[in-house]
Chain A
Amino acid sequence: MSDHRPVYIVDGARTPFLKVRGGPGPFTPVDLAVQCGRPLLARQPLARNAFDLVILGCVNVIADEMNPARVAALRLGMGEDTVAFTVQINCGSGMQSIDTAYRYIRDGSANLVLAGGAEALSHAPLVLRKGAVEWYAGMARAKGSIERVSMMTDVKADFFKPVIGLERGLTDPITDLNMGQTAEILAHRFDISREKADRYAMESHHRLANAQEQGWLDGEVEPAFDRDGTAYDKDDGVRPDSSMESLAKLSPAFEKPYGKVTPGNSSQITDGASWLILASEDAVKQHGLKPLAVIRDSQWSALDPSVMGLGPVLCSTEMMTRNALTREQIDLWEINEAFAAQVLACLAAWEDETFCREVLDLPEAFGAINRDSLNVDGGAVALGHPVGTSGNRIVLHLVQAMSRLGKKRGIATECIGGGLGGAMLVEMT
């Protein structure tokens, strides 16, 4: 890959992740993308129309914002002649935008790309039941009031019980398993106890709370302002006082009464957006940019949807093998915390010799990833998982954390509903 053009990460910023508290939040996906895109563009010595391309990952696109990438680009004032498209690979969408930009720049098709993710899960639509949709369509076609009145008798009570689109979105259509159930399967297969999962979750909260306290997220997180006069300046799902006792009190969320996956050790449902600026060497020189990091490689892998949570293990290992990298050569990891049990299952799989030999084609067990080099400032359990955004956030935070800690090389990786995994290899400049 040495003949490819290098691809730089110049800068990035995200909104605070805002916990869904019932009812639509203050921002739509594009609103969120605009909120963090503005300060990011304002702090770089770049004209807004200098970009060749805008790519945005978004899973739950709302009806008012088809192709949210283009809507966001125009609302950010990036010019009518800036091409923009939206990408979707479920929970990996925010990383897919980076990966797509990376490939465009690497092969010389683009020099400067804004790549992000945006998701407003609080705006996920209420979906009408199929019977209700047919009934509404019939009403619209009905001729005259008599026909309409007679149709009223066809109304069934459950017509008005909408299906929450979000709930369907988090259910795998092939296996009909809810994402939480796939985490239950992994907990069972890799022997992850409730107590281990809770401990991991508690640490995630404590790490994020500390990072906020220390100001380590300043600049990575830019405050958002709604038009009702409220400022949002930090991820609001974090519980600094999270304890084993408080977590132990929670009931299983997906498989009652014996399940181990609870709301406390799962990622939170939040709204948020994140952007990265990616540039070729030419663009860096032309605009006098100061790149933070360079993208070395990326990898997508696929596996059975019922164990989608192991996706990171597959894609990260394949990418490392291709680059002849050993576990010791990776200084920092960001593994998206869909579920605490799922992250712990990934770690366990890497320590399982049979798994590594048979599935990963390694000569021996990959080995243990030190908790000190994994999600050092917490993860989605504490700050939430706006699905189309998380993949972008973990790359952004990986770069920020490596910069702070003086590390050289890191991997950001996530599991993806539907049985996929995505990984990105990043080195500091």
Chain B
Amino acid sequence: MTKPVLSVIGEMKLELGSGEETAFGNWRLRQDADRIAWAILDGKGSTNTLSEAVLTDLSKLLDAIESQPPKLLVLRSAKPGGFVAGADISEFRDAKDEASVADRLREGHGVIDRLEALKCPTVAVIHGYALGGGFELALACDRRIAIEGAWFGFPEVRLGLHPGLGGTFRLSELIDPTEAMTMMLTGKSAHTKKARQLGIIEAVVEERHVRAAVQALLGKDDDGSKRGLKAAIFDMGPARKLAANRMRSQTEAKAPQEHYPAPHALIDLWETHGGDRDAMQEAEIKSFARLLMSDTAQNLIRVFFLREALKKNGVGKSGIETVHVVGAGTMGAEIAAWCAIKGLRVTISDIKLEPLAKAVKDAASTARDAHLSDIEIRDALDRMMPDPREYGLANADLIIEAAPEKPELKRDLLTSIEARARKDAIIATNTSSLELDGLAAVMKKSGRFAGLHFFNPVSKLDLVEVVSHDKATRKTLSQLNAFVTAIGHLPAPVKSYPGFLVNRVLTPYLLEAALMVDEGIDPVQIDRAAEEFGMPMGPLEVADRVGLDICLHVADSLRDNLDTPIPDVPDWMAKRMESGRLGVKSGEGIYAWEDGKPKKGKGGNHPLPKDAQDRLILPMLNAAVECLRKDVVADADTLDAAMIFATGFAPFRGGPMHYARQRGINDVVSALMELAESHGPRFAPDLGWKDLG
């Protein structure tokens, strides 16, 4: 036997109908002997998107069958990955003005409406994803049949939008309108079982029975949709008003209207026009066009492409199938678990058995949180072997040293790892602040050595800084970038520098907050100022979560190694640490913590100083410019992406550098100079601003 059986006969075979075939650009039409027509979407690339061209081609296909419709029309994707992934987002970027966007949308609506109005019954057969515009295409069919594993969603809200091709009214007509609104407001997808419960699909079949299931539909009169009493209630204005108000307050808590207008626009849309399809259609088009032209949407669309760009840093094969992690502390254990969950074979060592045992337990719960099935959890845990005798080290393709941040300890470990590792293995250190040149110096062949800076929690924060140093080879770095992509994370290539990129930029923000506390400003108010800017949580809450000891360690290391002035950590913070109040991990830090949440009061009544928000945010921008000037990171886009995906830097602002540009470089520089005058030289604008002005 030379090849695995499935590699020859294929993992699966999609049912795509049979009979005479006509091509319509991205679509193929097959008409079989039973007069069932199969409209197969098979665009360029491995994923179908609902581009303008796809809609134009669909229009031509409809031209061909409208006059003599088949007995049944089936819509299906020829791509093994799924149905349709959504609109072609790149088309959103070159939108010129609201009117032209609305015109383009109306054309799209016209095609979809014609599909819906076809005289023959229509059925969408869906495998894998049906998202955004793809979901809307499926909603225009009379019926939807799913293959197990299919999932449906409207992720538009994450791009600062709401559905724009009829989704707002078609979904709220098909299923319970409050469920429909929840899906559109949160962007959360419904997997097969949930979709069945909600009434999005009427049947789930195995791929091998698709043709039989389609044939069984012939002669069924009922169009499959059953609208419940609850849906009818919401045709009445007062019921919608009540529900809309509740949605508004829930949405405001998570996505304030000021920063995220899209969900609020959607609620208005439904409240005003729910139950009146024509009015809602026109309002959907106008609202979508307006949102698309907003800074929020354009910045969030930018973030989408920043993510894609980071992924591209790690194209190609990593050549890494086995990983050995040294050290089962929080980070080591999380890295090992995530690699195993993502299909790699992992060994993890520690000098004690207890942390290894805890690592297994934590991996099981991470796998559960990541929605793995029982069998997938078992397989992931089978792939992750606690390895107290370090058998895995000698065979691993990649060894990640994840010991505590003590230079001496790390140097000793790296020497010992190099002596035992395979000659062609890559050796990485997971460190948040130690400069790599000092560590590389102890290695005989430092070309295969580099840094991997993961963020905590690894399963939730996608960014990984891939840290280079003078001796690291290009091959090592490209393999590490590909490895990060292979485990579903986003590689940000950076150069070794105090704090690397992310901590260098973030630390001044945390320290400034600490100084403000020292001046007697209420912590809750300080955090609120940052949240009002759009940070996911305030700096003091971040410091508690990271751990005050770790913050202090990073701050000290920055102060020792940078030319730029870094303020001293105020006494109150040092005292708090001495008394063992380290943050979340000790139950109390700046805040007292309960069930993973800080107990924040309402905050003091003193008005915040006017410059409070700038005091917090601008030091990040200043440090970002320093990093660009020192070539810590290749370009401003990578910098913006790293800050968004590692720290949650207000995504709708497009990243720190993008924010600086939108606000105006000169404005930022003069604000920094004012701050320097009133609060000290730490605010002095970096030299690099000159090159940007």
Residues in A whose Cβ lies below 8 Å from that of B379: 75
Residues in A whose Cβ lies below 8 Å from that of B345: 77
Residues in B whose Cβ lies below 8 Å from that of A229: 357-358, 360-362
Residues in A whose Cβ lies below 8 Å from that of B383: 77
With A228-B361, A231-B354 as known contacts, state yes or no: A80 contacts B4, CB within 8 Å. yes
Whether the pair B391, A223 counts as a contact (CB closer than 8 A) is no
Would you call B1 an interface residue if the criterion is a C-beta within 8 Å of the partner chain's C-beta atoms? yes
Q: List CB contacts (< 8 Å) of B320-366 with chain A.
A: 345, 347, 353-354, 356-358, 360-362, 364
Whether the pair B353, A42 counts as a contact (CB closer than 8 A) is no
B393 CB, min distance to chain A CBs, angstroms: 9
Residues in B whose Cβ lies below 8 Å from that of A4: none
Whether the pair A42, B357 counts as a contact (CB closer than 8 A) is no
Would you call A165 an interface residue if the criterion is a C-beta within 8 Å of the partner chain's C-beta atoms? no
Whether the pair B386, A225 counts as a contact (CB closer than 8 A) is yes
Interface residues of B: mostly helix, strand, loop or mixed? helix
Whether the pair A223, B385 counts as a contact (CB closer than 8 A) is no
Q: List CB contacts (< 8 Å) of A226-269 with chain B.
A: 226-231, 233
Which of A39, A76, A77 has the most chain B CB atoms inside 10 A of its CB?
Answer: A39
Bound-state Cα–Cα, A43 to B386, Å: 13
A224 CB, min distance to chain B CBs, angstroms: 9
Whether the pair B389, A219 counts as a contact (CB closer than 8 A) is yes
B352 CB, min distance to chain A CBs, angstroms: 9
Whether the pair A39, B357 counts as a contact (CB closer than 8 A) is no
Bound-state Cα–Cα, A231 to B348, Å: 14
Residues in A whose Cβ lies below 8 Å from that of B395: 42, 45
With A225-B357, A226-B360 as known contacts, state yes or no: A42 contacts B382, CB within 8 Å. no
Whether the pair B382, A34 counts as a contact (CB closer than 8 A) is yes
Bound-state Cα–Cα, A219 to B388, Å: 11
**Which of A42, A228, A231 is the one whose CB lies under 8 Å from B347?**
A42
The residue on B at minimum CB distance from A46 is B395
B202 CB, min distance to chain A CBs, angstroms: 31
Residues in A whose Cβ lies below 8 Å from that of B360: 225-227, 229
Bound-state Cα–Cα, A76 to B322, Å: 14
Residues in B whose Cβ lies below 8 Å from that of A196: none
With A75-B379, A77-B345 as known contacts, state yes or no: A225 contacts B356, CB within 8 Å. yes
Would you call B381 an interface residue if the criterion is a C-beta within 8 Å of the partner chain's C-beta atoms? yes
B383 CB, min distance to chain A CBs, angstroms: 7
Would you call A38 an interface residue if the criterion is a C-beta within 8 Å of the partner chain's C-beta atoms? yes
B132 CB, min distance to chain A CBs, angstroms: 37
Whether the pair B386, A223 counts as a contact (CB closer than 8 A) is yes
Bound-state Cα–Cα, A412 to B389, Å: 28
Residues in B whose Cβ lies below 8 Å from that of A80: 4-5
Whether the pair B353, A39 counts as a contact (CB closer than 8 A) is no
The residue on B at minimum CB distance from A233 is B353
The residue on B at minimum CB distance from A75 is B382
Whether the pair A231, B357 counts as a contact (CB closer than 8 A) is yes
Residues in B whose Cβ lies below 8 Å from that of A81: 1, 4
Residues in A whose Cβ lies below 8 Å from that of B42: none
Whether the pair B381, A227 counts as a contact (CB closer than 8 A) is yes
Residues in B whose Cβ lies below 8 Å from that of A225: 356-357, 360, 386
Residues in A whose Cβ lies below 8 Å from that of B357: 225-226, 229-231
A232 CB, min distance to chain B CBs, angstroms: 9
Bound-state Cα–Cα, A119 to B383, Å: 22
Bound-state Cα–Cα, A219 to B387, Å: 12
Bound-state Cα–Cα, A88 to B1, Å: 29
Whether the pair A42, B387 counts as a contact (CB closer than 8 A) is yes
The residue on B at minimum CB distance from A222 is B389
Whether the pair A39, B364 counts as a contact (CB closer than 8 A) is no
Would you call B392 an interface residue if the criterion is a C-beta within 8 Å of the partner chain's C-beta atoms? yes
The residue on A at minimum CB distance from B4 is A80
Whether the pair A231, B386 counts as a contact (CB closer than 8 A) is yes
Per-residue B-contact encoding for A55-79, CB less than 8 Å = 1, 0 else = 0000000000000000000011100
The residue on A at minimum CB distance from B381 is A227
Per-residue B-contact encoding for A35-48, CB less than 8 Å = 1, 0 else = 00011001101000
A83 CB, min distance to chain B CBs, angstroms: 11
With A227-B360, A231-B356 as known contacts, state yes or no: A43 contacts B381, CB within 8 Å. no
Bound-state Cα–Cα, A419 to B357, Å: 42
Residues in B whose Cβ lies below 8 Å from that of A75: 378-379, 382
Whether the pair A39, B382 counts as a contact (CB closer than 8 A) is no
Whether the pair A39, B387 counts as a contact (CB closer than 8 A) is yes
Residues in A whose Cβ lies below 8 Å from that of B382: 34, 38, 75-77
Whether the pair A39, B391 counts as a contact (CB closer than 8 A) is yes
Bound-state Cα–Cα, A45 to B385, Å: 17
Per-residue A-contact encoding for B103-135, CB less than 8 Å = 1, 0 else = 000000000000000000000000000000000
Whether the pair B4, A39 counts as a contact (CB closer than 8 A) is no
Residues in A whose Cβ lies below 8 Å from that of B381: 227
A6 CB, min distance to chain B CBs, angstroms: 27
Residues in B whose Cβ lies below 8 Å from that of A77: 345, 382-383
Q: List CB contacts (< 8 Å) of B623-675 with chain A.
A: none
The residue on A at minimum CB distance from B357 is A231
The residue on B at minimum CB distance from A41 is B391
Bound-state Cα–Cα, A225 to B360, Å: 7
Q: List CB contacts (< 8 Å) of A6-44 with chain B.
A: 34, 38-39, 42-43
B340 CB, min distance to chain A CBs, angstroms: 12
Per-residue A-contact encoding for B164-194, CB less than 8 Å = 1, 0 else = 0000000000000000000000000000000
A29 CB, min distance to chain B CBs, angstroms: 14
Whether the pair B353, A223 counts as a contact (CB closer than 8 A) is yes
Which of B1, B353, B357 has the most chain A CB atoms inside 10 A of its CB?
Answer: B357
The residue on A at minimum CB distance from B395 is A42
Bound-state Cα–Cα, A141 to B389, Å: 56
The residue on A at minimum CB distance from B6 is A80
Whether the pair A42, B391 counts as a contact (CB closer than 8 A) is yes
Bound-state Cα–Cα, A219 to B347, Å: 16
Residues in B whose Cβ lies below 8 Å from that of A38: 382, 385
Bound-state Cα–Cα, A229 to B355, Å: 9
Q: List CB contacts (< 8 Å) of A278-323 with chain B.
A: none
**Which of A43, A76, A228 is the one whose CB lies under 8 Å from B391?**
A43
Which of A38, A76, A80, A230 has the most chain B CB atoms inside 10 A of its CB?
Answer: A38
B3 CB, min distance to chain A CBs, angstroms: 10
Per-residue B-contact encoding for A72-110, CB less than 8 Å = 1, 0 else = 000111001100000000000000000000000000000
Whether the pair A39, B385 counts as a contact (CB closer than 8 A) is yes
Bound-state Cα–Cα, A34 to B379, Å: 11
Q: List CB contacts (< 8 Å) of B366-418 with chain A.
A: 378-379, 381-383, 385-389, 391-392, 395
A56 CB, min distance to chain B CBs, angstroms: 16
Per-residue B-contact encoding for A173-195, CB less than 8 Å = 1, 0 else = 00000000000000000000000
The residue on B at minimum CB distance from A81 is B1
Residues in B whose Cβ lies below 8 Å from that of A45: 395
B364 CB, min distance to chain A CBs, angstroms: 4
Residues in B whose Cβ lies below 8 Å from that of A233: 353
Residues in B whose Cβ lies below 8 Å from that of A43: 389, 391
Bound-state Cα–Cα, A81 to B4, Å: 8
The residue on B at minimum CB distance from A218 is B389
The residue on B at minimum CB distance from A42 is B391
With A75-B379, A81-B1, A225-B356 as known contacts, state yes or no: A42 contacts B388, CB within 8 Å. no
Per-residue A-contact encoding for B25-65, CB less than 8 Å = 1, 0 else = 00000000000000000000000000000000000000000
A residues lining the B interface (CB < 8 Å): 34, 38-39, 42-43, 45, 75-77, 80-81, 219, 223, 225-231, 233
B residues lining the A interface (CB < 8 Å): 1, 4-5, 345, 347, 353-354, 356-358, 360-362, 364, 378-379, 381-383, 385-389, 391-392, 395
Can you name 22 A-B pairs with beta carbons within 8 Å? Answer: A34-B382, A38-B382, A38-B385, A39-B389, A42-B347, A42-B391, A42-B395, A43-B391, A45-B395, A75-B382, A76-B382, A77-B383, A80-B5, A223-B388, A227-B360, A227-B364, A229-B358, A229-B360, A229-B362, A231-B356, A231-B357, A233-B353
10 pairs of A and B residues whose beta carbons are closest in the complex: A229-B361, A43-B391, A231-B357, A42-B391, A231-B353, A227-B364, A38-B385, A225-B360, A229-B357, A225-B386
Q: A42-B392, A42-B395, A227-B361 are in contact. List 7 more A-B contacts (CB 8 A).
A: A39-B385, A223-B386, A226-B360, A230-B357, A231-B353, A231-B356, A233-B353
